Amino acid sequence: MLILECPCCGVKAEETELTPGGEAHLKRCGPGSTDDEFDGYMFARANPRGVHFERWRHAYGCGKWFLAARCTATLEVFGTYPAQSKQPPAELQAKIKARRPGWEGWT
């Protein structure tokens, strides 16, 4: 089972306490963006086989959103971090690089 530690309340929550929320750090393109940009924001996804940054909500707990770094192939969880983060924290990126030397890094 997948266990994610909620950074808002500290609970090591099992996946059935959580609601998944899709890819994190999407660049929102609204009015004023091109059709390509809007299409990319709405529909195109990285969907990697490997390191993935994603949103989760602690639905049966404190109710807050948070972000997580997880491997989509092995379900290894690298870490969780606040929803307000504009990018994964530097220490988390370093930890992922140490665990996955082949990872191309955060772009």
Partner 1 sequence: MSRAVSALEGASHKGFVEVAEAGLVGMITLRGDLSSAKMKAAVKAATGTAIPAPRRIVTEGDRAAAWMSPDELLILVPYAEAPATVAALDAALAGEHHLAADVSDARAVFRVRGAKADEALMKLCPVDFATLEAGEIRRTRAAQVAAAFWRSAGDEFTLVSFRSVAGYVMGLLEVSSRTGSELFPA
Partner 2 sequence: MAMKRYSVFAIAREAMSYHMGWERAWRSPAPKRKYDAVIVGAGGHGLATAYYLGKNHGLTNVAIIEKGWLGGGNTGRNTTIIRSNYLQDPSAAIYEKARSLYETMSQDLNYNVMFSPRGLLMLGQTEHEVRGYKRTVYANNLQGVSTEWISPRRVKELVPIINIDGPRYPVLGALYQARGGTARHDAVAWGYARACSAMGMDVIQQCEVTGVRTEAGRVIGIDTTRGAIDCDKLGMVVAGHSSVLAEMAGFRLPIESLALQALVSEPIKPCMDVVVMANTVHGYMSQSDKGEMVIGGGTDGFNNYTQRGSFHHIEETVRALIETFPMISRLKMLRQWGGIVDMTGDRSPLISKTPVEGIFVNCGWGTGGFKAIPGSGWAMAELMARGASPLAEEFSMYRFREGKFIDESVAAGVAH
Interaction pattern, residues 11-50, with partner 1; x per rule: CB under 8 A: xx-x-xx---------------------------------
DSSP 67-102: EEEEETTT--EEEEEETT-SS--HHHHHHHHHH-TT
**Is residue 35 a contact point for partner 2 (CB under 8 A)?**
yes
Cβ atoms of 77 and 43 within 8 Å: the answer is: no
Measured from the CB atom, the residue of 12 and 45 that comes closer to partner 1 is 12
User: Which span (25-33, 40-48, 79-87, 92-100) binds partner 2, by CB under 8 A?
Assistant: 40-48
Q: What is the CA radius of gyration of the chain?
A: 15
Measured from the CB atom, the residue of 29 and 62 that comes closer to partner 1 is 62
Query: Rounded to whole angstroms, how far apart are CA atoms 20 and 92?
Result: 20
Query: Rounded to whole angstroms, how far apart are CA atoms 91 and 16?
Result: 28
Interaction pattern, residues 42-81, with partner 2; x per rule: CB under 8 A: xxxxxxxx--x-x---------------x-xxxx------
